[in-house]
Structure 1
Amino acid sequence: MLDRLLFRRIDNAPLIIFRVLFGVLCALESYGAIITGWVRRTLVEPRFTFSFIGFEWLQPLPGNGMYVYFFVMGTFGVLIALGYKYRFSIIAFTLMWTAVYLMQKTSYNNHYYLLILVSGFMVFFPANRYFSLDAKRNPSIKKISMPSWVKWAVVLQLFIVYTYASIAKMYGDWLDFGIIKILMQDKANYPIIGDLLQQPWVHKAVGVFGILFDLLVVPALLWKPTRKIALIASIFFHLFNSIVFQIGIFPYLSLAFIVFFFEPETIRNIFFKKKSFYNEGNIEVPSYKNSLLAALGLYFLIQLMLPVRHHFIADDVLWTEEGHRLSWRMMLRSRSGKIQFKVRNNETGKTEWINTKDYLTPKQNRRIGAYPDFIWQFAQYLKKEYAKKGIPVSVYALNAKVSVNGKPYRAFIDPQIDLANTAWDHLRHNAFILPSSVDDPVQN
């Protein structure tokens, strides 16, 4: 039964066209980051970047290096689409994209994380066996079939993403549509649809449809009677997200995944009419079966565990942010914060206030007061800057208050704790983050 599910050979048309679409989208994301100024704002202008904690050694290249970096990364996307030196190109792109993801989180996006996972999968997929320069140069690798585990790995990954995204939306601020109203407020100046997006009935429609779509789209695509309806809903949903929220290639990557849900013959007839169709259905169990099953099992176990880890950390993840990332918690909160940093010279006792504008870009400044890891990292940065002058310091976050989803500001960081000399705990609650109900609301 398991061998038939995972190791039956099926036509590889879905994988081949996905490789082409994936490569094109990777190239557009990389080149587009240069053209739109994303690279400049996020990686060139900042004096330092808020990396993932533990990856501070990953820093942007100096000068114009990151422009070259993204150009090279985009070129690897082109090579992936063409199927040229495929294995090298997909490995290089995966490593480069992962490095960018880990070296900054000021522009954090769940979709950037998904791109890492998909790129990692593509490293092991036989995606260059047809309609590729590799196959043209070396006809011996050419094949018209693939093992069915390739399809089911993609389907399971998408099921995890969408299901957790739906479950995460089942909380108060989404169910009363308050967060949707907040998310739509800065869309009011959009031409044609701006006023429409401010209507309460639109907020309700988006809220209900968002939960139902995420929960049902994968099962609906798998079941043939509902597949076309799910396709239409997917096109509407992802184009709406692209137009309204402007989240890069993700809506189009999500649409590209749909090729794995249709019959391979249908995909072949649409995209590769001259391609021979494989329908023999042979079961070929590889010698590395046990290793493959162990690797897939471990990978998907981690994928199932990461989104629920916040339940094992004290307080509400909406408040603490601990366990938010890597969890498919998409468009669930809007945060704003106020904070002041005080540095104390440990030798003289002299103190001084820090103007964050002297150190951070405008975008970083909008993040610094609202996210605890940003606050902690900035304290560490200040400690290092003063250490260069030979001055040992303590750093305190004073008057730190945060508003989540438009609610009144509340005290956020314990002003008595020296953040510069406090370790960050990845697995447990960090004590310098005050409880969400620590005091009475403080109005803005």
Structure 2
Amino acid sequence: MNKILFKHIDNTGLVLFRAVFGLLIATEAFGAIATGWVRRHLVEPDFTFNFIGFDFLQVLLGPGMYAYFVLMGIFGVMVMLGYKYRFAMPAYALLWSAVYLMQKTGYNNHYYLMMLLCWIMAFLPANRWFSLDAKFTPEIKSPSMPQWCLLVLILQVWIVYTYASVAKWYPDWLDGTIAALFMKGKSDYWLIGPFLQLEWVQFCITYIGILFDLFIVPLLLWKRTRMIGFAISVFFHLFNSVVFQIGIFPYMSIAFALFFFSSETLQKRFLPQKKLYTAGEIIVPKYKKLLITVFSIYFLFQIGLPVRHWFFKDDVLWTEEGHRLSWRMMLRSKSGNATVWVEDKNTGKRTRYNYQALLVHKQKNSFKAKPDLIWQLAQHIRKVEAEKGNDVAVFMDIRVKVNGGKYHPFIDPNVDLASEKWYPFKHHDWILPSPEDYHKKSANK
């Protein structure tokens, strides 16, 4: 165990990744302001659909979020330069974690992955070379790192890709339905739009997606296939960047290759002045037990959380219970329509409620197919009405369609959602059972 975890290896890959990662997270922060993401998700809304239990983060909403993201961007630049790294990296991780937990409307799996990587990087000695810290404080300078630093990064990436592949093993992905639905919205793209509508192209997208996620890490790990895997990775992620426009995620994924190439190769190409470490010393730290315990618990959660939906009643594709934090990326197309009713508990009078007045555009579209957001909206309506002196029950008549199928009733309209409790690891009976073949295009068959 000591030889596997605490043998020292060259740290060229880690310090290069730190520089690239810092650039990307700084770009994420400043880009969120420039593209209007901060305005749409954290300034304009009166409230956000935060992760349940993190309601206290609502106090941060408003124009102050611009300064918040500027500060994050500055921390990202500090990480890139390796300046005050031991402060800047945890600071960015903390601020980004709050952003992630603050809202679910603009949800993207790379936000979750970025949060995990930020915290992992906060543990790693990524500033020991090629950094301002090493320049200004020569005593911390080192050309090596313990091997566990590399192993935790590779394992995290491997978990993400493996679960992303396995999640695609279901009928609507395998028969090309999902690719067809996603590509339909890309038909107006310059030059490639018509190409993406071809059936054989959509077939390739379907199965390359499964195979890439399943085999890319083994391809990169094996020296004989590493360059092939890297070339495939670059093409795959650049294609995703152009077609799906998912921010920094494709470029962060390309940068993962730095974990797999030999230090000799990286040093010759990028840091020719750096000393190549080859001593292979085994240095066991005093905090060995704590380190092993922390990462063992962490990876048990990383392996366990993505399979928790199997312990819920009904299909996760319908209920969404267990969907988040599970690397279920771009797996379904889901939409809904909603009618909300409030009933005065004192008079029994029931009236249709204008819930749209409480929401901004993105929130109106996203909440209808997600039970946790539906429940949160009911709680918010009850709170808003209570501030007016009204004690109300909240009922919702919601219908959803999945992957281009028919609309089906989704929520029990006779349940007062405002009086229900939320259980993170238990099925909610007010979610109606999934109809047979609800995610098939039965209307066209």
Task: Tell whether the 8 Å contact from 2:161 to 2:213 is kept in structure 1 after alignment.
Answer: yes
For residues 54-103 of structure 1, what are the alpha-carbon distances to aligned partners after superposition, in whole Å with 9 as ceiling and x for unaligned?
11111263542111111110110000011111111011100000000001
The one-letter code matched in structure 2 to 1:323 is G
Task: Tell whether the 8 Å contact from 1:50 to 1:377 is kept in structure 2 after alignment.
Answer: yes
**Residue in structure 2 matched with residue 232 of structure 1 by the alignment:** 231
Corresponding residue SS for 1:290: helix
TM-score (norm 1): 0.97
Corresponding residue SS for 1:195: helix
How far has the Cα of 1:265 moved from its partner? Answer: 1.2
Corresponding residue SS for 2:193: coil
Structure 1 residue runs of 5 or longer lacking an equivalent are none
Please say if 1:348 is aligned against 2:347. yes
**Residue in structure 2 matched with residue 421 of structure 1 by the alignment:** 419
How far has the Cα of 1:232 moved from its partner? Answer: 0.4
Task: Tell whether the 8 Å contact from 1:165 to 1:329 is kept in structure 2 after alignment.
Answer: yes
Equivalents in 2 of 1:291, 1:38: separation in Å? 39
Corresponding residue SS for 2:56: coil
Equivalents in 2 of 1:62, 1:217: separation in Å? 40
Corresponding residue SS for 1:369: helix
Corresponding residue SS for 1:48: coil
How far has the Cα of 1:408 moved from its partner? Answer: 0.7
The one-letter code matched in structure 1 to 2:434 is S
**Residue in structure 2 matched with residue 129 of structure 1 by the alignment:** 128
The one-letter code matched in structure 1 to 2:259 is F
**Residue in structure 2 matched with residue 294 of structure 1 by the alignment:** 293
Equivalents in 1 of 2:263, 2:22: separation in Å? 20
**Residue in structure 2 matched with residue 367 of structure 1 by the alignment:** 366
TM-score (norm 2): 0.97
**Residue in structure 1 matched with residue 205 of structure 2 by the alignment:** 206
For residues 147-166 of structure 1, what are the alpha-carbon distances to aligned partners after superposition, in whole Å with 9 as ceiling and x for unaligned?
11111111111110000100
**Residue in structure 1 matched with residue 148 of structure 2 by the alignment:** 149
**Residue in structure 2 matched with residue 61 of structure 1 by the alignment:** 60
Greater mean deviation of Cα atoms: 151-160 or 54-63? 54-63
Structure 2 residue runs of 5 or longer lacking an equivalent are none
Equivalents in 2 of 1:267, 1:440: separation in Å? 51
Task: Tell whether the 8 Å contact from 2:318 to 2:434 is kept in structure 1 after alignment.
Answer: yes
Matches within 5 A, 1:152-167: 152-167=151-166
For residues 98-153 of structure 1, what are the alpha-carbon distances to aligned partners after superposition, in whole Å with 9 as ceiling and x for unaligned?
00000100011111000011000011100111111111111100001001111111
Matches within 5 A, 1:250-289: 250-289=249-288
Matches within 5 A, 1:240-251: 240-251=239-250
- Give the % identical residues: 55
The one-letter code matched in structure 2 to 1:311 is W
**Residue in structure 2 matched with residue 93 of structure 1 by the alignment:** 92
Corresponding residue SS for 1:394: strand
Equivalents in 2 of 1:324, 1:429: separation in Å? 13
Please say if 1:404 is aligned against 2:414. no
Task: Tell whether the 8 Å contact from 2:11 to 2:263 is kept in structure 1 after alignment.
Answer: yes
Corresponding residue SS for 2:169: coil
Task: Tell whether the 8 Å contact from 1:44 to 1:60 is kept in structure 2 after alignment.
Answer: no
Equivalents in 1 of 2:355, 2:270: separation in Å? 54
- Superposed CA RMSD in Å reads 1.5
How far has the Cα of 1:362 moved from its partner? Answer: 1.3
How far has the Cα of 1:443 moved from its partner? Answer: 7.5
The one-letter code matched in structure 1 to 2:390 is I
Task: Tell whether the 8 Å contact from 1:380 to 1:419 is kept in structure 2 after alignment.
Answer: yes
